[in-house]
Structure 1
Amino acid sequence: MTPTATEPEHGFVGHPGKNRRRRPTVIVPLIVMLLVGATVGVVTTQVQSSAARASQAAPTATTQQCLVADRAALVPKKGVLFGVNLDWNTETLPEYAKTLGHAPAVTVQFSDIPYSAATWRHTLDAVTQVKANGGILLLTLEPHGGLDTISDAVISKLVTDLAAINAEGVPVIVRFAHEMNGSWYAWGQQPTKYVETFQRVATAVHAGARGTSMMWAPNYGGGYPFAGGQFAVKPGTPDFALLDTNHDGALTMADDTYAPYFPGDRYVDWVGISLYHWGNQRPWGDNEVPEPNKFADMLTGTYNGSAGDDSAIPDFYQVYGVDHGHPVAIPETSAIYTPSRIGGASELAVKQAWWTQAFSAETHKEFPQLKMINWFEWSKYEIEIKDNVDWRASGTPAIAKAFSKDLPGWFRYGNDVTVCNKL
């Protein structure tokens, strides 16, 4: 994916910049696997004829077909799914699993939509690795051509392709058009069109790809409404009126950064929000240990620290995890470490302070609806600070050893996910 949108310049940013390529370039051999786990289960069902036809586009080395059929069963009753966002150009999933000591339960892949056959091949390469590793594919679909490109034909092809992946024994969670409350994407700040499109995609996916779930994932609301982005909503439009939730004629952090974009409970299986520690104050990237309880405060919209007061943001966990009853995911998380900056805290101090908060027993007890946490395992140039950032928790043997040691006993990994039963 080569991004076409420009990252905005605004206060707190909830994610790294989008100038990154997510292409699994190393393909491991297909392995016919039946993974048995106590935590997550699926039921066996007959492959629909459309899925069987679609499976011809999927990896074909297998002699058995299977179908993941029960979306709800992919949500662990106990524990939290641990996942990873890999830089496929530098590391394979088996290599990462060997370093970590565990095969992740969730693997993240990004794709444009609509997509060409060549683009989808990259997703199938990721599927190959997930199939051998075990677990779930979290597929983020980015309509960089705008929401008008998501035609019925595009959705139909997507559903056929997802059903084929499910028939290979790999469950999928689709994170469709994420960060829609931001102003930097072609689908951003268009609540009317976004909600309608998400509903159409979800309806088709739920009907035709029974092993695929839908995730709704806005950007963390610090800095809302992210003024100055290429796709910022224009005053005087119907969408502006919808986003002006307090009806004062202006868009500010006093407006609800999430609710106007919510598609409705029947269309949403998971809710997700990415949480990053970019530092405690401007300029970002100065290798600062995160403030105590920052992870939880961001998740609940109560953060009020040296990076700013975000306490006007709605409580994402309470509203969408508890009140709406959805499993909550952190699709991406990490803490910024900038190797070129000197005089700050050490890499281990910065990152361990962040993952300790995210993985703490207190976090697990306080947020029982939190069911997925995915680490952002990239080292890359970030346009926000115009410098190289190492987000990885396994970039050096010392950091990887500390990270692996601190993984909590309630994490669930690839071999905990029952993926496939014979037909």
Structure 2
Amino acid sequence: MVIVSVGLTYLAAEAAFAFGGLRYVPLRLHGHLPDDIRLFAQSSKAGVLPQNPVLLLGDSHAQGFGDWLLEINPDCNGPFHSAHVIQQLSGRDVVALGVSGAGSAEGMAAFPAIAYAQADRAWYLRLPKPDVAVVYFYEGNDLNNNISFLDRRVAHPDASKLAEQIDRSIAAYSPALSNDTGRALHFPLFRFLVSMIRQTWAEATGTLQVPASEEPAIPSGLPNAAEVAGKATELPGHLQSPALELTSEELERATLVYDRSLVFLQKLLPGTPVLVVYLPSPLSSYRLLGAEVSGQQYVPDTATRYPRQRVMEYSDAICRLIRTATVGHGAGFLDLRPAIRAASETAFVHGPRDFKHFNRRGMEVLGQAVAERINRPLIGGACSQGEN
């Protein structure tokens, strides 16, 4: 009877954790939640299980990185993300599947496929098919990540069959990234506690490996100049740019990875409307001054300083490439650059601590734009003509 009582008590605790407890896990402990469980602890929805959600896909911008996250109380589970803004303005549940460092193949294909494969096996915490999928495409490094995907996953690319090769690589990608937990999948509280116990033991025995600080370093180097609130001001040097170091051929190949990832996503979520939001890089977000800009280097042995005019030329060119691929597959397109540039005329939309991501003001602009757009038919959309 004791064994049965203990067992039933534990199962009751597991159920309480899954049905409601996840909502109260503070942000500082979210790292101990398994990847397939963490999304249910997000506070951008009414309950643990989302209902007819808006699904956010992409990299760290869809994950919610930025100064707003750095400023909030980590002992709570409060708002810090464009997802919270979308939920507040639209009244819809929002679930973010963004993963830092993801390119198109990861953020639009592999990680969503893993999430829904795990949902199919779960007993209760099942991610429902969304009402709409919103993809954050970030011009700052998504195409660089796509080039990396080609280098790592597509051996000996054949230009005439590159689309087919990418399709095969994407299809094989999610099984390669997935971590099968077996029956432990059904015990989220057990997995959560094991993770915390392991860290406590490592701290007590001095074997804890401390990760690098999550505090983003302000890029070094010669500063960039911009006009904000009518005054000339300095932006950090080596800012993320619209892939200034990539050639035209590389831009097209990287865009093809995005194109095939979108096709994969539409097959994964048949019938689900898709909206792609084009996010500008920091260098594309401000009215730049001076003859040259300082950009972050992703490709070794490439320049870090470029003519200022090249920023808008590349930003416009990439926007057109992504827009053409997007509307070609019947998805909606939203160019966020006009809204961000309008906001940056009066105040910073990045930093000051993390200049790679939007701060609270930038997140609010993004969330408002998405909330307004998903209430209209998700078809078409245009690129604005940038001026800088």
| Bucket of the pairwise TM-score, normalised by the shorter protein | 0.3 to 0.5
- Which of the two has higher C-alpha Rg? 2
Q: Name the one with the larger helix percent.
A: 2
TM-score (norm 1): 0.32
Q: Name the one with the larger strand percent.
A: 1
